[in-house]
Amino acid sequence: MLIIKKNKFETSKSLWVKTIKKVYETGEIIIDQRGNEVIRMHNLIIEIPDSWILKYHIDNERMEKAFLDNLINPEPNNFDYTYGDRLHEGNQFNLIKEELRNNINSRRCVANIFNYYDIHRSVKENKEVPCGTQLHFQYFRNKLHLNLIMRSNDIVGALPSDMYGFGNLLNIICEELGLNKGSFIYQVIDGHIILDHYGDKLKQLKVIK
């Protein structure tokens, strides 16, 4: 398990680079199901406190803005799935906001992204399935907190957009409901670096020489 806390870093980018370095230095090297050489970490947790709002972009402004737009938009936009499509499935996102309005201390404000049929799609149809699995909103000590659970995360290519998008999704919900923003806990079951894809990027970020 690797736990990264924001308060040791000055910027979101420095937190991201430090996370990559820690996984690179301490992770396990394997060959994944696609035949790529990767370094992975089991249980990677990033804690971003309420005092540190993710208003600045981490690596790629265009991609991060597009990802946040995707989270808000319920339309799948000709993809097999989008996070926005999944979060609005069954009206669950609006129901969570209604639950918070009616009972601010509810323990039931959970949005599911990964569904039972994704196992079939993955095994039988060889299709991509969501990396994020669940969002859990909880009001604690006068602030709304968000826990995001990811079954898998490409921490070089995907983590910046995920962290920026979901962090700002919490900001948006808090503004809409008139609540104070709490912490954002980003928990990844399998956080990995795809060595076959990101050699140049790792050099650019000074993770390797």
State the pLDDT at residue 7.
Answer: 66
Beta bridge partners of 193: 39
Inter-CA distances, 23 with 141, 192, 209, Å = 33, 7, 16
Q: Is the pLDDT of residue 83 over 80?
A: yes
Q: Is the pLDDT of residue 8 over 90?
A: no
Q: Is the pLDDT of residue 82 over 80?
A: yes
Cβ atoms 43, 188 nearer than 8 A: yes
Token pair recorded at residue 94: 């609006």
* Confidence (pTM): 0.91
If we measure between CA atoms, which residue out of 146, 130, 127 comes closest to residue 138? Answer: 146
Task: State the average pLDDT over residues 112-120.
Answer: 87
**b/e per residue 150-183 (b: at least 16 CB within 10 A):** bbbbbbbbbbbbbbbbbbbbbbebbeeeebebbb
CA–CA gap between residue 192 and residue 149 (Å, rounded)? 15
Domains along the sequence of the chain with CATH: 2-204 (3.30.572.10)
The count of C-alpha atoms lying within 13 angstroms of the C-alpha of 80, restricted to the half-sphere facing its C-beta, is 11
Give the model's confidence band at 80: pLDDT under 50 very low, under 70 low, under 90 confident, else very high: confident
State the pLDDT at residue 110.
Answer: 96
Cβ atoms 15, 4 nearer than 8 A: yes
Strands (E), 93-201: 110-112, 132-140, 143-150, 153-154, 181-194
* 117-169 confidence digits (pLDDT tens): 888 877 777 778 899 999 999 999 999 999 999 999 999 999 999 999 999 99
Q: What angle do CA 121, 126, 129 make, to 5 degrees?
A: 55
Q: Which positions ≥6 away from 170 have C-beta within 8 Å?
A: 137, 144, 146, 181, 182, 184
